[in-house]
Amino acid sequence: APKYECTDPLGCVTYAPGEPVRIASALVISGPNTDLGVDSQHGVEIAMQFRGQLLGHDIELQAEDDGCSAEGGQTAGQKIVSDPTIVAVVGTSCSGAGVPMSEVISEAGYVMVSPSNTAPSLTNPDEAWKPGYLRTAHNDKVQGKAMADFAYNELGVRKAAAIHDGDPYTEGLAKVFADSFEDLGGEIVMFTAVNKGDSDMRPVLAAVAAAGPPEFLYYPVFTAEGGFLTKQAKEVAGLENTILAAADGMISDAAIKAVGDAGEGMYFSGPDLSFSGDIYDKFLDAYETNYGSMPISVFHAHAFDAANMIFDCIEEIATQDKDGTIHIGRQALRTCLYNTKDFQGITGTLTCNQYGDCADPKISVSQLQNGAYVRIWP
């Protein structure tokens, strides 16, 4: 038989018979944001389980840690690209890790699909976008705007305040919310911040109360700070009637417990989680069996979709020898992924643009009612 010759400009990955197709994940699986990454990793693992084999090859996952930091992202990236048998990456969890990692991945000719990077800069070619980067997570611009929309139009509030905690994700989201809300004609009475790790939020809440008090208070932070803000807001004079709202950083079991009664009636923006369909039911079953609990954060579905997008493309573009050896062109894989159109995933119907924004940006708002998130909008 004629020997296969690789013509792909970025090179090819070849798997001999019996060798597994290797993909990597680079998610945050240590440190304070562990839940986020572990949940996504489980999503990838279930996708692998469902797929079983790719063109007669097993699939193997090399799980790396992005540490939720720029350094962590870069190191994980270097580790991945030092292994030529890895064909694609699901990651990163955190946008901060995504920026340097996408650079490493891109330069080495690999491809990565992030399940949970939401920073606008990552898919902006004038800022951080690099060829080979895609994501199934929504862009923050969408979520912030959606929340503003909901507050202004749906709840009819005109005075709002926003608080962030200095996290890039939180800050970005709060900013987009504030800008959008003002664009809609509302008034932002205060845009302020706390620090990660703070516990006494009363002074800042009192300042917010004194500034308005706002009808609506949006703090898209994570569980710990969010818990403090929620509980203490109820205790600060002037904020008794303010509507509280947070974002997907606080959509989790732990968050429900952390806010307790104080969170009753509070709103949460986030990717639409009312996933439905057979696949998702099967997914949840598998999740429960494998890990003994229901998903702990929101991005498992995005990771599942990301992995499946990659698998689909591999199946589409790989060339197979008679003996079962497969060859995957790296550029071909990239092109295929960027051309993804109407991909039917758990998170919706995904279509990627030329800068890798693939999400079907369905943002919903849910309300905490009797200790459970209930989707109320749209």
Partner 1 sequence: MRQRFQDIDYLGVVLWLLRTGIIILVIWGSVATIIQNPYSSKTWMDFIVFGVAQGSLYALIAIGYTLVYGVLFMINFAHSEFFMSGIFTATILLANPMKASGFLDSHPFVGLGLITITAIIVSVAIALLTERVAYRPLRKAPRLVPLITAIGASFFWQYFFRGLFGSEVKPFPQIEGLIGKIPFLGTEILINQVVVIVVAIIMLIGLYIFVMKTKIGKSIRAVAEDKDTAALMGIDVDRAISITFAMGAAMAGIAGVLYAMVFRQVHFFMGFIPGIKAFTAAVLGGIGSIPGAAVGGFFLGMFESVGPSLFLQGLGIPAPHQLKDVIAFTMLVLVLIFRPQGILGERLAEKKA
Partner 2 sequence: MREKQNTLKILLKSGLLSGVIALSVSMIGMVGLFSQRDMIAGVLTLGQLLLFASPAAFAYLEAVKISKDDWRKGLLAGLFIGVLSAIPLIILVIISTLVNLRQYFVSVSDTLIQILTFNQDVFLGSILLILVMAFVGLIAAGMRYMPIKYRHPIFQGLIWTFGVSLFSEVLSERVRSFFGSFITKIMFKSRATQPLFAIVLFVFIAGITYWQQGHKSSIKDFIDNQPPKKKRQYQLIFLGIGILILIILPLILGTYLSEVINNVGLYILMGLGLNIVVGFAGLLDLGYVAFFAIGAYTMAVLTSEGALGISAFSFWAALPFCVAASVSAGILLGIPVLRMRGDYLAIVTLGFGEIIRIMANSDLLKPFIGGAQGILQIPKPSIGNIVLFKPGQLYYVILIGVLIAAYISWRLRDSRLGRQWMAMREDEDVAEAMGINLVNTKLLAFAIGAGFSGLSGAIFASKLTSIFPHSFNLLISINVLSLIIVGGLGSIPGVVVGAAILVGLPELLREFKEYRLLMYGGLLIVMMLAKPEGFWPSTIQKRELHAFQESTSGNDT
Residue 365 binding result from partner 1, partner 2, none, given CB thresholds of 5 to 8 Å by partner type = none
CB nearer partner 2, residue 72 or residue 271:
72
Residue 210 binding result from partner 2, partner 1, none, given CB thresholds of 5 to 8 Å by partner type = partner 1
The distance of closest approach from Cβ of residue 128 to partner 2 in the complex, given in angstroms and rounded to an integer, is 5
The distance of closest approach from Cβ of residue 261 to partner 2 in the complex, given in angstroms and rounded to an integer, is 21
Cα angle 161, 167, 168 (rounded to 5 degrees) comes to 95
For tokens 């959008």, the residue is 180
The distance of closest approach from Cβ of residue 63 to partner 1 in the complex, given in angstroms and rounded to an integer, is 18
CB nearer partner 1, residue 256 or residue 279:
256
- Which positions ≥6 away from 64 have C-beta within 8 Å? 24, 25, 26, 27, 76, 79, 80, 91
Q: Which of 16, 237, 294, 376 binds partner 1 (CB under 8 A)?
A: 237
Q: Does 151 bind partner 1 (CB under 8 A)?
A: no
Residue 211 binding result from partner 2, partner 1, none, given CB thresholds of 5 to 8 Å by partner type = partner 1
Q: Which of 73, 132, 214, 227 binds partner 1 (CB under 8 A)?
A: 227
Residue type present at position 219: Y
CB nearer partner 1, residue 20 or residue 238:
238
Residue 292 binding result from partner 1, partner 2, none, given CB thresholds of 5 to 8 Å by partner type = partner 2
Point out which residues bind partner 2 (CB under 8 A).
Answer: 29-31, 34, 64-65, 69-71, 74-75, 78-79, 81-83, 96, 99-100, 103, 107, 119, 121, 126-128, 164, 166-168, 170-172, 191-193, 195, 292
Q: Which of 162, 174, 161, 67 is nearest to 118 (CA)?
A: 174
The distance of closest approach from Cβ of residue 104 to partner 2 in the complex, given in angstroms and rounded to an integer, is 9
Residue 107 binding result from partner 2, partner 1, none, given CB thresholds of 5 to 8 Å by partner type = partner 2
Q: Does 228 bind partner 1 (CB under 8 A)?
A: yes
Q: Does 207 bind partner 1 (CB under 8 A)?
A: yes
Helix (H, G, I), strand (E, B) or coil at 62: strand
| Residues 6-65 within binding reach of partner 1 (CB under 8 A) | 32, 34-35
β-strand partners of 46:
none
CA distances from 297 to 78, 219, 235, 264 (A): 27, 18, 28, 19
**Preceding omega of 92 cis (within 30 degrees of 0):** yes
Class of residue 285 by CB neighbours under 10 A (exposed 0-12, middle 13-18, buried 19+): exposed
H or E element: which one contains 47? helix 34-51
Measured torsion, CA atoms of residues 288, 67, 165, 129, in degrees rounded to the nearest 10: -100
In the chain the beta strands, taken as DSSP E runs, fall at 12-15, 21-27, 53-54, 57-65, 86-91, 112-114, 133-135, 159-164, 187-193, 216-218, 243-246, 267-271, 319-320, 326-329, 343-345, 348-350, 363-369, 372-377
Helix (H, G, I), strand (E, B) or coil at 23: strand
The distance of closest approach from Cβ of residue 287 to partner 1 in the complex, given in angstroms and rounded to an integer, is 18
Inter-axis angle of helices 140-149 and 168-183, nearest 10: 40
Q: Does 175 bind partner 1 (CB under 8 A)?
A: no
Residue 255 binding result from partner 2, partner 1, none, given CB thresholds of 5 to 8 Å by partner type = partner 1
Binding site for partner 1 (CB under 8 A): 32, 34-35, 166, 191-195, 197-200, 202-204, 206-207, 209-211, 223-224, 227-228, 231-232, 235-237, 254-255, 257-258, 260-261
